[in-house]
Structure 1
Amino acid sequence: MTLPLLLALPWLLLPVLAAVFVRRRPALEECNAAADGDAPRVSVIVPARNEALNVEACLRSLRASSYPRLEIILVDDGSTDGTGDVARRAAEGDPRVRIIESDPLPAGWFGKAWACEQGVRAANGELLAFADADVIAAPELVGRSVGVMRARGAALLSAMPHQVLGGFWERVVMAQVGMLFLARYPDPERVNRSPRTRDKIALGGYILIRRDAYEAAGGHRAVRHEVSEDMALAQRFHALGHRTLLVSADRFLRVRMYRSLAEIVEGWSKNLALSSRRTAAGALAGAVPWLLLAGIFFFWLLPPLVLLRGALGMVGWPWVPAAAVAQAAATAFWAAMYRRDGHNPFYALLVPLGALVMCGIVMRSLARGGRVRWKGREYGAMEPTG
C-alpha cells in the first residue's frame, strides 16, 4: 500500500496544512473602542440595489449599534423591488438614518462604486464605513472596528464576516467559494504583513476607512471601473502607502450573500475571473482562473472520477486504492470543516457536486471576459480613465 499512500499524499496533508496555515487573527474582540468623548464620528454608507429582502434586517442591526456618534446613509441605487420603501419603514423615527435616491449611473462607473460615492458626498463622518445591505451587524461592530483600526494605525479596515449558509445549494456551493478564499488568504495577519500590493484584499460586506486617506486615494472615483471595487480600493491604499488591515469578525458580522443556485451562479460569475487576476502579478495573473479550475478539479473531482473509472474496469492498481484513500481523506477533511462551521458533516459527501458547479462558475466567468451582468445592468469591459 506504500505507492497508493504516496499518490494520495496531497489529500492526506490537507488537515495538516489547514492546522499550520489557517488562522482567524487578528480578531475584533482583541480591542475595544475609545472612550465616548474621544470617539470619532462614523458615517455608515449602505449601497442597495434590489435588496428589499435584506435591507430591513440590515438597517435594524445598524440602528442597534452601541457606538455613540453614528449616522447611517442608505443609497437606493435605482431599485425596482421597493428597497427604498422598505428602508424608509425600517428607519422611521431614527434621525441618524437617511435614505437617499441615487442619481442616474454615469458612463464608466459600476453601480456599487457610484452609490458609495454619493453616500460619501452626503456623509459627515471622520470615518467612513461601507456596509452591504445583506449584512447583519452586532451592536459592538462599529465600536470595536474603530478601536482596532486606531490601535493598529490603519487607514482601512475590512472585516471577515460569518457566512450564513441557509439552504442546500449554499451549503454545497458557497462552501467551495469559502475554500477558495481560504486557499488564497488562510491567515489575515499574513495579508496584513505582506509588502505586496497583490496580497491585499478588502471584503465589501464591511469596510471602515479614514476619510482623509479615502480622499487622498481618490475614493471610489479612482476604482469606478472595477467590478471588485473593494479589493481594488485596498490595493490602491497599500500602493499609496496607507496601511490596510484585514480582521476576523465572526462574532460581530453575519452575511447571507445568496439564497438560490441561480443567485450563486450569477453572483460569482460576474467577478470571479476578473477578481482572481488581481491576486497575482505579471503574466501569472491571466493564468490564475485556470489554476483555480485545475485545483478544484484535482482535489475534489479527480478521486471520484478515478473511482468511477475503476468501477467500470477502466483503471486498476495503484490508481483505484490511491483514489479511495484520497476520497476518504477529502471527505473527512470537509466533514470537519462543515462541523466547525455548525453544519451537518454529511454535506461532505456532496463535495464533488459542489466542485462540479464551481468549475462551471469559473468557466462561465472566464467566458464573459470583461463583460459583467448584475442586477439588471450590463457592463462592458471598462478601463480606468483620468
Structure 2
Amino acid sequence: MTLPLLLALPWLLLPVLAAAFVRRRPALEHWSAPPDAEAPRVSVIVPARNEALNIGQCVRALRASAHPRLEIIVVDDGSTDGTGDAARAAAEGDPRVRVLSGEPLPAGWFGKAWACEQGVRAARGELLAFADADVAAHPELVGRTVAALAERGAALLSAIPRQVLGGFWERVVMAQVGMLFLARYPDPERVNRSAGTRDKIALGGYILVRRDAYDATGGHRAVRHEVAEDMALAQRFHALGHPPLLVAAERFLSVRMYRSLAEIVDGWSKNLALSSRRTAPGPLAAVVPWLLLAGVFFFWLLPPLVLVRGALGMAGWPWVPAAAVAQAAGTAFWAAMYRRDGHNPAYALLVPVGALVMCGIVLRSVARGGRVRWKGREYAAMEPGTG
C-alpha cells in the first residue's frame, strides 16, 4: 500500500497544511471601541440596487450600532423592486439615516462604484465605511474597526465576515468559494505584512477608510471601471503608500451573498476570472483562472472519477486504492470544515457536486472576458494591468 499512500499524500496532508497555514488573525475582538469622547464621526455608505430583500436587515443592524457618532447613507441605485422604500421603512424616522435616490449611471462607471461615489459626496464623516446591503453588522463592529484602523496606523480596513449559508446550494457551492479564498489568503496577517500590491485584498461587505487617504487615492472614481472595485481599491491604497489592513471579523459581521444556484452562478461568473487575475504577478495573471480550475478538479473531482472508472473496470492498481484513500481523506477534511461552521458534516459527501458547479463557474467567467452582466446592466470591465 506504500505507492497508493504516496499518490494520495496531497489529500492526506490537507489537515496538516490547514493547521499550519490557516490563521484568523488579526481578529477584531482584539480591539475595543474608543471612548465616546474620542469617537470620530463615521459615515456608513450602503450602495443598494434591487436589494429590497436585504436592505431592511442591514439598516436596522447599523442603527443598533454602539458607535456614538454615526450617519448612515443608503444610495438607492436605480432599483426597481422598492429598495428605497424598504430602506426608509427600516429607518423609522431615525435622523442618522438618509436614503438618496441615485443619479443615472455615467459612461465608464460600474454601478456600485458610482453609488459609493454619490454617498461620499453626501457624507460628513472623517471616516468612511462602505457596507453591502446583504451584510448584518454587530453593534460593536464600527467601534472596533475604528480602533483597529487607528492602532495599526492603517488607511483602509476590510473585515472578513461570517458567511451565512442558508440553503442547499449555498452550502454545496459557496463552501467551494470559501475554500478558494482560504487557499489564497490563509492568514490575514500575512496579507497585511506583504509588500506586494497583488497580495492586497479588500472584501466589499465592509470597508472602513480614512477620508484623507480616500481623497488622496482618488477613491471610487479611480476604480470606477473595475468589476472587483473592493480589491482594486485596496491595491491602489497600498501602491500609493496608504496601508490597507485585513482583519477577521466573523463574530461581528455576517453576510448572505446569494440565495439560489442561479444567483451563485451569476454572481461569481461576473468577477471570478477578472478578480483572480489581480492576485498574481503579471506573468501568471493570465493563467490564474486555469490554475483555479485545475486545483478544484484535481482535489475534489479526480478521486471520484478514478473510482467510477475503477468500478467500470477501466482503472486498477495503484490508482483505484490511491483514489479511495484520497476520497476518504478529502471527505473527512470537508466534514470537519462543515462541522466547524455549524453545518451537517454529511454535506461533505456532496463536495464533488459543488466542485463540478465551481468548475462551470470558472469556465463561464473566463468565457465572458471583460463583459459583465449584473442586475440588469451590462459593463465592459477593464482587464487587470491595463489601467
- TM-score where L is the length of structure 1: 0.99
Residue 174 (structure 2) aligns with? 174
Is structure 2 residue 145 aligned with structure 1 residue 145?
A: yes
Preserved contact between residue 228 and residue 275 of structure 2 (Cα < 8 Å):
yes
Corresponding residue SS for 2:286? helix
Please, which moves more after superposition, 24-33 or 55-64? 24-33
Residue 270 (structure 2) aligns with? 270
CA displacement, residues 262-291 of structure 1 (integer Å, 9 cap, x when unaligned): 000000000000000000111200000000
Preserved contact between residue 48 and residue 75 of structure 1 (Cα < 8 Å):
yes
Aligned-pair CA distance for 1:294: 0.2
Give distance in 2, aligned partners of 1:167 and 1:381.
31
The residue correspondences of 1:222-371 to structure 2 (distance < 5 A) are 222-371=222-371
Preserved contact between residue 273 and residue 366 of structure 1 (Cα < 8 Å):
yes
Corresponding residue SS for 2:154? coil
Residue 110 (structure 2) aligns with? 110
CA displacement, residues 73-106 of structure 1 (integer Å, 9 cap, x when unaligned): 0000000000001011111220000000110000
Is structure 2 residue 6 aligned with structure 1 residue 34?
A: no
- TM-score where L is the length of structure 2: 0.99
The code of the aligned residue for 1:20 comes to A
With over 3 angstroms needed to count, the CA separation of the structure-2 counterparts of 1:381 and 1:251, relative to structure 1, is closer
With over 3 angstroms needed to count, the CA separation of the structure-2 counterparts of 1:150 and 1:381, relative to structure 1, is closer
The code of the aligned residue for 2:182 comes to L
Residue 123 (structure 2) aligns with? 123
Give distance in 1, aligned partners of 2:379 and 2:193.
35
The residue correspondences of 1:60-99 to structure 2 (distance < 5 A) are 60-99=60-99
Corresponding residue SS for 1:11? helix
Give distance in 2, aligned partners of 1:141 and 1:277.
31
Preserved contact between residue 303 and residue 323 of structure 1 (Cα < 8 Å):
yes
Preserved contact between residue 114 and residue 220 of structure 1 (Cα < 8 Å):
yes
CA displacement, residues 118-160 of structure 1 (integer Å, 9 cap, x when unaligned): 0000000000000000000000000000011111111000000
CA displacement, residues 232-272 of structure 1 (integer Å, 9 cap, x when unaligned): 00000000111110000011001000000000000000000
The residue correspondences of 1:190-201 to structure 2 (distance < 5 A) are 190-201=190-201
Aligned-pair CA distance for 1:381: 3.6
Please, which moves more after superposition, 212-221 or 375-384? 375-384
Please, which moves more after superposition, 28-37 or 247-256? 28-37
Residue 58 (structure 2) aligns with? 58
Give distance in 2, aligned partners of 1:358 and 1:34.
42
Aligned-pair CA distance for 1:382: 3.8
The code of the aligned residue for 1:119 comes to G
Give distance in 2, aligned partners of 1:33 and 1:57.
23
Give distance in 2, aligned partners of 1:195 and 1:329.
35
Give distance in 2, aligned partners of 1:17 and 1:220.
37
The code of the aligned residue for 2:262 comes to A
Give distance in 2, aligned partners of 1:233 and 1:284.
21
Give distance in 2, aligned partners of 1:382 and 1:82.
31
Give distance in 2, aligned partners of 1:276 and 1:305.
27
The code of the aligned residue for 1:265 comes to V
With over 3 angstroms needed to count, the CA separation of the structure-2 counterparts of 1:385 and 1:301, relative to structure 1, is closer
With over 3 angstroms needed to count, the CA separation of the structure-2 counterparts of 1:24 and 1:217, relative to structure 1, is same
Gaps of 5+ in 1: none
Residue 380 (structure 1) aligns with? 380
Corresponding residue SS for 1:195? coil
Residue 161 (structure 1) aligns with? 161
CA displacement, residues 33-69 of structure 1 (integer Å, 9 cap, x when unaligned): 2111111100000000000000000000000000000
The code of the aligned residue for 1:35 comes to P
Preserved contact between residue 108 and residue 382 of structure 1 (Cα < 8 Å):
no
Residue 133 (structure 2) aligns with? 133
Give distance in 2, aligned partners of 1:280 and 1:19.
24
Question: Percent of aligned positions with the same letter in both sequences?
Answer: 84
The code of the aligned residue for 1:16 comes to V
Is structure 2 residue 214 aligned with structure 1 residue 214?
A: yes
Corresponding residue SS for 1:317? coil
Give distance in 2, aligned partners of 1:234 and 1:377.
25
Preserved contact between residue 227 and residue 381 of structure 2 (Cα < 8 Å):
no
Aligned-pair CA distance for 1:385: 10
The code of the aligned residue for 1:372 comes to V
